[in-house]
């Protein structure tokens, strides 16, 4: 604390990201990173962009990421004016809070969801109301039929992994005509249906994607928003009032190459999904209750063993999982899907802990 702080800084409750341990080979299942490397084309593209002496780095990058937006628009069958790009989807979400979700009525999001949403709400002074998930941790669309200044949730939801079918999302978007609905699809490539298909019909829908999870580029910080050109325009107005060059040259080259290799995405995502089903079965075998997941993580609890105790014992063996000290879920652990070998190491350790 300092007398030099602004009022807003006094009131902030910053988001706490998962730990990045300084160990040689941790079994790191705590931040939903992809266990596989990005497409080899990504590495080639970064090398090509850099050149022999890094001479391209002298110059500012393209402020509007034109090539990248064209590649992504083509991939999703959109126009480039329906695509916004930012420095990680967290930045895209932050701009959406400021540009589209701040109104007189409260923003609605689930009681159990991505914990960055209340953080952005406080940063941008957006009033909000949380809507409880049902007992199976599912979002009930009917509960959002109330006056609001916007709706936001991930699909699949985080940290539960539960996914809503596209028909449910469409029902919400069709009914919620007075404000914007933001669907955060950070995990959509691991088995859920994307709402991008609805964009041409609903001017109040914004869909947010990231290259951090399914495209293995968390270290590059590239995220997108897709929606009606008027919504994208609002995001660009905030972006150009904040940082004209949110994506560096290497990130633009890397992400473009990642979108040009759809085969790589399919292969690595299928592997992750197969490992998820294997891990789920092994956890159930050990007595865990596991929420059915359409993401690259599972959300599980053991009725006889305390979640903090389990995660502490795993940590002693350099195995990292995520625990959230929040109501309703403080006995759950969120476990990212690693390679099969990492999942096996985890299961062996858990077997010992819960025996
Ligand atoms: C990981 C995650 C993000 C952030 O992704 P970045 O693009 O790495 O900033 C956004 N939303 C949800 C729900 C996530 O889990």
Packed helices 307-316 and 340-354: angle between N→C axes, nearest 10 degrees: 120
> Ligand 1 center to residue 154 CA distance, Å?
9
Of 241, 261, 281, the domain-final residue: 261
Whether residue 32 is found in the same domain as residue 98: no
Residue 298 lies in a domain: yes
Query: Is residue 62 within 8 Å of residue 251, measured between CB atoms?
Result: no
Cα distance between residue 34 and residue 40, in whole Å: 15
Q: Are residues 335 and 254 in the same domain?
A: no
Atom of ligand 1 nearest to the CA of 154: 13
98 lines ligand 1 (CB under 6 A): no
The chain-wide mean pLDDT, for the chain, equals 97
Atom in ligand 1 nearest the alpha carbon of residue 158: 13
Q: Is 212 in the pocket of ligand 1 (CB under 6 A)?
A: yes
Q: What's the half-sphere exposure (Cβ side, CA atoms, 13 Å) at 245?
A: 8
Question: Average of pLDDT values for 151-180?
Answer: 98
Report residue 228's pLDDT band, with 50, 70 and 90 as the boundaries. Answer: very high
- Measured from the Cα of 218, ligand 1's closest atom is 8
Q: Are 126 and 250 found together in one domain? A: yes
Confidence of residue 18 (pLDDT cuts 50, 70, 90): confident
Residue 229's φ and ψ, nearest 5 degrees, are -55, -30
CATH of the domain at 24: 3.90.1150.10
18, 209, 212, 222: residue to mutate for ligand 1 pocket, most atoms within 8 A of CB: 212
Residues 44 and 77 in one domain: yes
User: For 43-73, what is each residue's pLDDT tens digit?
Assistant: 999 999 999 999 999 999 999 999 999 999 9
> Which pairing describes strands 107-110 and 128-131: parallel, antiparallel, or unpaired?
parallel
Residue 330 counted as domain residue: yes
In a domain, 2, yes or no: no
Decide whether any atom of ligand 1 lies within 6 Å of the 33 Cβ: no
Domain region containing 277: 7-38+263-353
Average pLDDT over residues 19-44: 95
Residue 223 located in a structural domain: yes
Structural domains of the chain, count: 2
Q: pLDDT-based confidence at 141, cuts 50/70/90?
A: very high
Q: Domain of 256: which CATH number?
A: 3.40.640.10
Which residue's alpha carbon is nearest to atom 1 within ligand 1?
Answer: 186
Pocket test for ligand 1, best of 32, 184, 293, 296 (most atoms within 8 A of CB): 184
Closest ligand 1 atom, residue 210 Cα: 7
Which residue, of 224, 241, 261, is where some domain finishes? Answer: 261
The mean per-residue pLDDT over the stretch 326-355 comes to 97
Domain co-membership, 219 together with 281: no
Rounded to two decimals, the pTM is 0.97
Tell whether 66 and 155 lie within a shared domain.
yes
| Residues 6 or more apart whose Cβ sits within 8 Å of residue 96 | 152, 180, 182, 206, 208, 225, 235
> 227, 261, 295: which is the final residue of a domain?
261
* Claim to verify: residue 175 and residue 307 sit in the same structural domain: no
- Percent of the chain at pLDDT exceeding 70: 100
In a domain, 233, yes or no: yes
Q: Is 268 in the pocket of ligand 1 (CB under 6 A)?
A: no
What is the atom index within ligand 1 of the atom nearest the CA of 31? 1
Residue 1 lies in a domain: no
Are residues 204 and 86 part of one domain? Answer: yes
- Domain membership of residue 273 (yes or no) is yes
Q: Give me ligand 1 centre to Cα 89, in Å.
A: 6
Mean pLDDT of 214-218: 98
Do residue 144 and residue 202 come from a single domain?
A: yes
d(CA 177, CA 172): 9
- Considering the domain architecture, whether residues 222 and 198 belong to the same structural domain is answered as yes
**Residue 219 and residue 83 share a domain:** yes
Instruction: Count how many residues are written for the chain.
Output: 355
> Has residue 11 got a pLDDT over 90?
no
Whether residue 61 is contained in a domain is answered as yes
Q: Are 157 and 98 in the same domain?
A: yes
The pLDDT score that the predictor gives to residue 16 is 85
| Residue in 213, 247, 299 to alter for ligand 1 test, most ligand atoms within 8 A of Cβ | 213
């Amino acid at each position: 604390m300092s007398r030099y702080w602004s009022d807003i800084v006094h009131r902030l409750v910053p988001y706490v990201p998962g730990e990045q341990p300084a160990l040689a080979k941790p079994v790191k299942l705590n931040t939903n990173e992809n266990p596989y490397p990005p497409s080899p084309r990504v590495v080639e593209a970064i090398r090509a962009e850099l050149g022999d002496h890094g001479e391209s780095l002298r110059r500012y990058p393209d402020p509007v990421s034109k090539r990248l937006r064209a590649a992504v628009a083509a991939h999703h069958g959109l126009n480039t004016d329906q695509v916004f790009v930012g420095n990680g989807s967290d930045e895209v979400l932050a701009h959406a809070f400021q540009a589209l979700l701040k109104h007189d009525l409260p923003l609605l999001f689930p009681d159990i969801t991505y914990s960055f949403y209340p953080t952005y709400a406080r940063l941008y002074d957006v009033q909000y109301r949380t809507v409880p998930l049902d007992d199976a941790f599912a979002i009930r669309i009917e509960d959002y039929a109330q006056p609001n200044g916007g709706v936001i949730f991930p699909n699949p939801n985080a940290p539960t992994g539960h996914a809503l079918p596209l028909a449910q999302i469409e029902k919400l978007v069709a009914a919620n005509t007075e404000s914007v609905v933001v669907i955060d699809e950070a995990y959509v490539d691991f088995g859920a249906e994307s709402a991008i298909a609805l964009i041409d019909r609903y001017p109040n829908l914004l869909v947010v994607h990231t290259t951090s999870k399914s495209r293995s580029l968390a270290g590059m910080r590239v995220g997108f928003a897709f929606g009606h050109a008027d919504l994208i325009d609002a995001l660009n107005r905030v972006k150009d009032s904040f940082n004209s060059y949110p994506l560096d040259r290497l990130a633009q080259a890397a992400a473009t190459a990642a979108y040009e290799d759809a085969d790589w995405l399919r292969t690595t995502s299928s592997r992750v999904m197969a490992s998820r089903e294997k891990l789920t079965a092994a956890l159930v075998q050990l007595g865990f209750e596991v929420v059915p997941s359409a993401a690259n993580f599972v959300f599980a609890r053991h009725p006889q063993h305390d979640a903090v105790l389990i995660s502490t014992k795993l940590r002693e063996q350099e195995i990292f999982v995520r625990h959230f000290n929040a109501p309703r879920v403080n006995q759950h652990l969120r476990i990212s899907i690693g390679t099969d070998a990492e999942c096996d190491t985890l299961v062996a350790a858990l077997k010992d802990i819960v025996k």
